[in-house]
C-alpha cells in the first residue's frame, strides 16, 4: 500500500493520459469537421426516417413512439437532392392502367368483358418511384377556350387518329399543332349541330340542350376526343367524357389537353365510379358497345346512373339500319329497354332516345319473373369502388318514388340549393350552406394569393383531392374552369351531393389495403394521364394520409405526375406537414409561391397553414447527373451521406429498401439484421456497388444462394444469384468491428425491366 508521499508521482500518468485524450478529441474534431457533421445529421435523419417507416431503434418497428410520419417540423432535417427520372417511354404512364404491367404480372383477364381496360394497380414493389418526364419539345398548353379547337402536337405526339378518322373530322394534323374541327364518327359536320338535333327531338325550348337548366350532367360513353362534351359546355351542360385507355390512341389525353372534362374508364365488369342517379343524359354515338351481353348488364349500369326521367341518346346503325343483323340487335335492345320500363321519347333518322321512368310504378306492375329483376333490398347503388355490376334494376327510394323525380333545382340555382339527398348523410341544410359560404371565402383568399403568379385563363383543369360537398368547386362558378371532385370510397358518400349540385367527380380509393409489412402502404394512382391538371387542391389530404399510415412520398410523386408543368398546388394542412413538403420542393422541381396561416375560423384546423406551390417546366438533359430510370434501370449516388448498419437515409436507397424488403422477425446472429424479400419482385438481378456496412439488392441471396455477405472494406460488386421461388431471409452481415458504426453507401441499382 502506497503512502501519501507517493501521490504526486501517481498523478503524473493521469495528467498525461488526460492530455492525450484531449489531443485525440481535437484531432478527431479536426479531421471529421465536415464529414462528422454530415454523418451525425445523416444518422439522425436515418433514425427519423426508419421510424417513419414503422421501424423502431431496436428493429422491431414498434417502440411505442407516436411521432408523426412527417416529423416534428425540424428545418435541419436532410433535404433530398433529386428524385430519379423515368425513361422517356414512361412519359404517358398511368400506373393502374398500364398494359405492360398486365403482361408482366400475367393476369388472367377476360378480354371479351374488357377486364384488361379496368384498373389493375401495381403492388408496391412494382411501382415506378420516379418523376414522369414531359415528352421532347413539350410546351405550356394553349389556354382555354382556344384549346378546345387546337393543341400543341409535341405535348401529345400521336397523329394516328388524324389519319384513321380523317373522313370524320375528329382531328387534323396541322404542323406543330393539332386542330379539332368538332366532328365525330356520327356527326361529321360538327357536334354543335348534332347537339341541337337531340334538343329538337326532345322538344326542348329553342333547341337548347340544357332544357332551361333541368339538364346539367351528362355521361358520354365511348367519347372519342370528347368533342360532344366540349360543345355541351357552351350550353352550361357538363359531361363526364369516358373512354378506355388506348382504344383509340390517347383519345382521353387529347380531351384533357383541350381542357374538356374526361376520365379513363370502361363499361366492363365493375361499376363505374359514380353514384346512382348522377346524370340527366347518357350518350353513346357509335361507341361499339355490346349492350345485349350478359343479360343487358351494361344498359342496366346506365340505368343505375340515370336520374328519374333521364335520357339515353343512342346513335348507331342498329337504330336505323335495315340489314338482318342490325334489325335483330335492334329488336332485342328494344325488348330489353321495354322490360327495363324505358320508353322511346323519340326516334329520328339515325338516333333513338329512351327515357327512364319517374317512379317505381312500372317496375311494380311487371309480371312476376320478368328479367331483369329488381336489385336486392340490401344492394347499395352508391357503393361503387371495385363493386361488380349486377344484371338488375335499381328501384328508387320510397321518398323519390313518391316525389316522382329527383327534386333538384334547375341550374345554376342547383349549385347552392341544398339537395334532397343530404338527408341520406344526416346533414342539415344549415351545415351545407355554412360549408358553401366558408369555401367561398377560402377560394377568394386563394385567388388573392395566386393572382400575382397566375396569368388570365392559365388555369383550366382542376382537381379537388378531398372534395367533401364540392363547395370548393362551387366557389369557382365565376371562373372558366372545371373541377374533378375526388371523394374517397370509404368515407361519407358525398359524391352524390356533388352531382346533385350539378358538378362532376369520381370515387377514388386513395389508399391500398394495409399490408403485413413494416413498410408504409401507398396511394393508388388516379385514372388519368400525366400532366392533366393545372391546379391541385389538397385540403388535409396529408393529415388523412398519416392517419392511414401511408407513404407521403408516393403521394407527392403522384401529384407531380398528374400536374402540368407551370401548374399549381394548394396544400391546406398542419404546419409540420407544410415543413415536410417544403423539404421535397427542389427534388420535385417545385417552387414555393407563398406560405401563410390559415384563416381564423371555427371550421379551420388548429395550426393550419396554406402552402402554394408551382411546378417548374423542366426537361431531362442529356448527360444529366440526376438518376434516370432508363430502360428500367437507375442508380443514385449517395454523396456525403453516412449511415449506420440497417439505416439508409439516402434516396433512392431508402426507397428501394422500403419497397422491396421487409424486416424479418429475428436477428441474423452476426450483428446485422435479417430482412426478407417481398414476393413478386422484378425478374432480373441487379448490381450494387457498396462500401462496407449495408448491401441492398432486390431479390434472393447474393453470391451463393442464401449465404450471408461479409462485405469487404473496399468497394466491391455484388452480383445476385438466381432468384429463389419463395422469399428467403437474407442476412446482411457487416464486419465485426462495424456494428453500430457509420458507413457510406456509394450506389444502389434497380432493374425493373
Higher pLDDT, 65 or 491: 491
Q: What is the pLDDT of residue 656?
A: 32
For the beta sheet containing 238-243, the strands, ordered from the edge strand earlier in sequence to the opposite edge, are 262-264, 238-243, 217-221, 279-285, 306-315, 351-355, 343-348
pLDDT value at residue 295: 97
Residue 733's H or E segment, with its range, is strand 729-733
Residue 229 in contact with residue 207, Cβ under 8 Å? Answer: no
Q: 468: closest CA among 610, 372, 572, 341?
A: 572
- Residue pair 593/453 in contact (Cβ under 8 Å)? The answer is yes
pLDDT digits (tens, 9 = 90+) for 45-100: 233 333 332 323 333 333 334 456 666 555 555 566 688 999 888 999 999 999 88
How far apart CA 272 and CA 269 sit, in angstroms, is 9
Complete DSSP assignment for 493-559: -THHHHHHTT-EEEEE--SPPP-SSSSPB-PPPPSS-SS-EEEEEEESHHHHHHHHTB-HHHHHHHH
Residue (of 393, 391, 535) closest to 459 by Cα position: 535
- Cell numbers 466491391 correspond to 716
Segment 589-600 shows an average pLDDT of: 89
Among 284, 98, 11, 140, CA closest to 619: 140
Nearest-angstrom CA–CA distance, 733 and 477: 62
Query: 118-122, 304-308, 674-678: which range is least confident on average?
Result: 674-678
Query: Looking at the predicted structure, is the pLDDT value of residue 671 above 50?
Result: no
User: HSE on the CB side for 424, CA within 13 Å?
Assistant: 19
Phi, psi of 121, rounded to the nearest 5 degrees: -80, 145
The string of pLDDT tens digits covering residues 195-218 is 999 999 999 999 999 999 999 999
Q: Which residues pair with 637 in a beta bridge?
A: 747
Between 31 and 366, the more confident residue is 366
Do 745 and 641 meet the contact criterion of CB atoms below 8 Å apart? yes
User: What's the rounded Cα separation, in Å, for the pair 377 and 751?
Assistant: 51
All domains of the chain in start order, with CATH: 46-85+627-751 (no CATH), 190-409 (3.40.50.150), 414-615 (3.40.50.150)
Pairing of strands 633-637, 687-690: unpaired
* Residues constituting the chain: 753
Distance (Å, whole) CA 726 – CA 136:
42
Q: Crossing angle, helix 293-305 and helix 324-339, to 10 degrees?
A: 50
Share of the chain above pLDDT 70, in %: 68
pLDDT over 50 at 545, yes or no: yes
Position 745 pLDDT exceeds 70: no
Question: Cell numbers at residue 611, please?
Answer: 402552402
294 three-state secondary structure: helix
Q: Which residues of 709-724 are buried (b: 16+ CB within 10 A; e: fewer)?
A: bebeeeeeebebbebe
Q: Quick one: cell of 48?
A: 427519423
**Whole-number average pLDDT of the chain:** 76
What pTM value is reported for the model?
0.76
**How far, in Å, CA of 417 to CA of 502, rounded?**
11
Q: Which of 122-136, 292-306, 643-657 has the highest mean pLDDT?
A: 292-306
pLDDT tens per residue across span 306-354? 999 999 999 988 888 788 999 999 999 999 999 999 999 999 988 999 9
Residues 563-589 have a mean pLDDT of: 96
CA 134 – CA 531 distance, rounded (Å): 8
**What pLDDT is recorded for position 60?**
36
Q: Which of 559, 500, 558, 553 is nearest to 535 (CA)?
A: 559
Contact 677, 683 (CB under 8 A): no
**For residue 74, what pLDDT is reported?**
58
Whether the Cβ atoms of residue 239 and residue 263 lie closer than 8 Å to each other: no
> Helices then strands (H, E): number in the chain?
18, 27
Going by pLDDT thresholds of 50, 70 and 90, the confidence category of residue 183 is confident
For residues 57 and 184, what is the distance between their CA atoms, to the nearest angstrom?
62
CA distances from 325 to 294, 328, 354, 367, 575 (A): 19, 5, 21, 29, 65
Which of 106, 414, 387, 174 lies closest to 270 in space, CA to CA? Answer: 387
Q: What is the mean pLDDT of residues 9-16?
A: 51
For residues 46 and 638, what is the distance between their CA atoms, to the nearest angstrom? 13
**DSSP letters for 226-284:** -HHHHHHGGGT-EEEEEE-TTSSTTHHHHHHHTT--EEE--SSSB--SS-SS-EEEEEE
DSSP state of 88: G
Could you tell me the three cell numbers for 172?
387534323
Provide the pLDDT for residue 166: 64
Whether the bond between 168 and the residue before it is cis, its omega within 30 degrees of 0, is no
pLDDT for position 569: 98
Residue written as grid cell 450483428: 671
**Residue whose C-alpha is closest to residue 219's, from 312, 297, 148:** 312
Q: Cα(719)–Cα(702) distance, rounded to whole angstroms?
A: 6
Q: What angle separates helix 575-582 from helix 552-562, to the nearest 10 degrees?
A: 70
User: Each residue of 247-294: pLDDT tens digit?
Assistant: 557 899 999 999 999 999 999 999 999 999 999 999 999 888 999 999
3-state secondary structure of 588: coil
If you write DSSP's letter for every residue of 303-351 in order, what string do you get? HHHEEEEEEEEEESGGGT--SHHHHHHHHHHHHHHHHTT-EEEEEETTE
Between 370-374, 500-504, 740-744, the lowest mean confidence (pLDDT) is in 740-744
Residue 506 has a CB neighbour count (10 Å cut-off) of 24
274-278, 346-350, 360-364, 433-437: least confidently modelled range: 346-350
Backbone angles phi, psi at 251, to 5 degrees: -65, -40
Measured between alpha carbons, how far is 104 from 90 in angstroms, rounded to an integer? 15
Three-class DSSP category at 739: coil
The DSSP secondary structure of 353-418, one letter per residue, reads: EEE--SSSHHHHHSPTT-SSPBPPTT--TT--TTPBP-SSB-PPPHHHHHHTS--PPPTTGGGTSP
Amino acid at each position: 500500500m502506497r503512502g501519501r508521499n507517493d501521490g504526486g508521482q501517481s498523478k503524473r500518468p493521469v495528467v498525461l493520459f488526460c492530455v492525450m485524450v484531449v489531443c485525440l478529441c481535437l484531432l478527431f474534431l479536426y479531421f471529421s469537421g465536415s464529414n462528422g457533421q454530415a454523418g451525425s445529421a445523416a444518422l439522425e435523419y436515418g433514425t427519423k426516417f426508419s421510424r417513419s417507416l414503422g421501424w423502431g431503434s431496436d428493429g422491431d418497428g414498434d417502440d411505442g413512439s407516436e411521432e408523426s410520419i412527417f416529423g416534428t417540423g425540424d428545418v435541419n432535417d436532410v433535404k433530398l437532392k433529386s428524385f430519379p427520372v423515368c425513361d422517356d417511354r414512361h412519359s404517358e404512364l398511368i400506373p393502374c392502367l398500364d398494359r405492360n404491367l398486365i403482361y408482366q404480372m400475367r393476369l388472367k383477364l377476360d378480354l371479351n368483358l374488357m377486364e384488361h381496360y379496368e384498373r389493375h394497380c401495381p403492388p408496391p414493389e412494382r411501382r415506378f418511384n420516379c418523376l414522369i418526364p414531359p415528352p421532347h419539345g413539350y410546351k405550356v398548353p394553349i389556354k382555354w377556350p382556344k384549346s378546345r379547337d387546337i393543341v400543341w402536337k409535341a405535348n401529345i405526339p400521336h397523329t394516328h387518329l388524324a389519319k384513321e378518322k380523317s373522313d370524320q373530322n375528329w382531328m387534323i394534323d396541322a404542323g406543330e399543332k393539332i386542330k379539332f374541327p368538332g366532328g365525330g364518327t356520327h356527326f361529321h359536320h360538327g357536334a354543335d349541330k348534332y347537339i341541337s338535333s337531340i334538343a329538337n327531338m326532345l322538344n326542348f325550348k329553342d333547341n337548347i340542350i340544357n332544357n332551361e337548366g333541368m339538364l346539367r350532367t351528362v355521361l358520354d360513353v365511348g367519347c372519342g376526343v370528347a368533342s360532344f362534351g366540349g360543345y355541351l359546355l357552351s350550353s352550361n351542360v357538363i359531361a363526364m367524357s369516358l373512354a378506355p385507355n388506348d382504344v383509340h390512341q390517347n383519345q382521353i389525353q387529347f380531351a384533357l389537353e383541350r381542357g374538356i372534362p374526361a376520365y379513363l374508364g370502361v363499361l366492363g365488369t365493375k361499376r363505374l365510379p359514380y353514384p346512382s342517379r348522377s346524370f340527366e343524359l347518357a350518350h353513346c354515338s357509335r361507341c361499339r358497345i355490346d349492350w345485349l351481353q350478359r343479360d343487358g348488364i351494361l344498359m342496366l349500369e346506365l340505368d343505375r346512373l340515370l336520374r328519374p326521367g333521364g335520357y339515353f341518346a343512342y346513335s348507331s346503325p342498329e337504330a336505323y339500319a335495315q340489314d338482318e343483323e342490325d334489325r335483330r340487335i335492334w329488336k332485342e335492345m328494344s325488348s330489353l329497354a321495354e322490360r327495363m320500363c324505358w320508353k322511346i321519347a323519340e326516334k329520328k333518322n339515325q338516333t333513338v332516345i329512351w327515357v327512364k321512368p319517374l317512379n317505381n310504378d312500372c317496375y311494380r306492375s311487371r309480371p312476376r319473373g320478368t328479367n331483369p329483376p329488381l336489385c336486392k333490398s340490401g344492394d347499395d347503388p352508391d357503393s361503387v369502388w371495385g363493386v361488380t355490376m349486377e344484371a338488375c334494376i335499381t328501384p328508387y327510394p320510397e321518398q323519390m318514388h313518391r316525389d316522382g323525380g329527383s327534386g333538384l333545382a334547375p341550374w345554376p340555382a342547383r349549385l347552392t340549393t341544398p339537395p334532397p339527398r343530404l338527408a341520406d348523410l344526416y346533414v342539415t341544410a344549415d351545415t351545407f350552406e355554412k360549408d358553401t359560404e366558408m369555401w367561398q371565402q377560402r377560394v377568394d383568399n386563394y385567388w388573392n394569393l395566386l393572382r400575382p403568379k397566375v396569368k388570365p385563363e392559365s388555369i383550366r383543369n382542376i382537381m379537388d383531392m378531398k372534395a367533401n360537398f364540392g363547395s370548393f368547386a362551387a366557389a369557382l362558378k365565376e371562373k372558366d374552369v372545371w373541377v374533378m371532385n375526388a371523394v374517397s370510397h370509404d368515407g361519407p358518400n358525398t359524391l352524390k351531393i356533388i352531382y346533385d349540385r350539378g358538378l362532376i367527380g369520381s370515387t377514388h380509393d386513395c389508399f391500398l389495403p394495409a399490408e403485413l409489412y413494416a413498410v408504409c402502404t401507398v396511394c393508388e394512382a388516379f385514372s388519368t394521364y400525366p400532366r392533366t391538371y393545372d391546379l391541385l387542391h389538397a385540403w388535409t389530404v396529408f393529415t388523412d394520409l398519416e392517419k392511414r399510415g401511408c407513404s407521403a412520398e408516393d403521394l407527392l410523386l403522384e401529384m407531380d405526375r398528374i400536374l402540368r408543368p407551370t401548374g399549381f398546388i394548394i396544400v391546406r394542412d398542419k404546419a409540420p406537414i407544410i415543413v415536410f413538403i417544403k423539404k421535397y420542393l427542389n427534388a420535385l422541381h417545385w417552387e414555393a409561391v407563398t406560405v401563410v396561416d390559415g384563416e381564423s375560423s371555427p371550421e379551420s384546423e388548429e395550426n393550419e397553414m396554406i402552402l402554394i406551390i408551382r411546378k417548374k417546366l423542366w426537361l431531362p438533359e442529356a448527360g444529366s447527373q440526376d438518376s434516370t430510370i432508363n430502360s428500367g434501370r437507375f442508380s443514385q449516388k449517395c454523396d456525403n451521406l453516412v449511415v449506420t448498419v440497417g439505416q439508409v437515409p439516402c434516396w433512392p436507397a431508402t426507397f428501394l429498401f422500403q419497397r422491396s424488403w421487409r424486416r424479418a422477425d429475428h436477428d441474423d446472429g452476426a450483428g446485422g439484421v435479417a430482412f426478407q424479400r417481398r414476393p413478386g419482385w422484378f425478374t432480373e438481378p441487379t448490381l450494387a456497388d457498396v462500401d462496407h456496412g449495408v448491401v441492398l439488392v432486390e431479390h434472393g441471396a447474393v453470391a451463393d444462394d442464401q449465404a450471408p455477405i461479409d462485405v469487404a472494406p473496399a468497394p466491391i460488386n455484388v452480383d445476385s444469384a438466381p432468384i429463389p421461388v419463395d422469399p428467403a431471409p437474407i442476412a446482411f452481415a457487416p464486419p465485426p468491428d462495424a456494428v453500430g458504426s457509420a458507413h457510406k453507401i456509394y450506389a444502389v441499382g434497380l432493374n425493373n425491366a
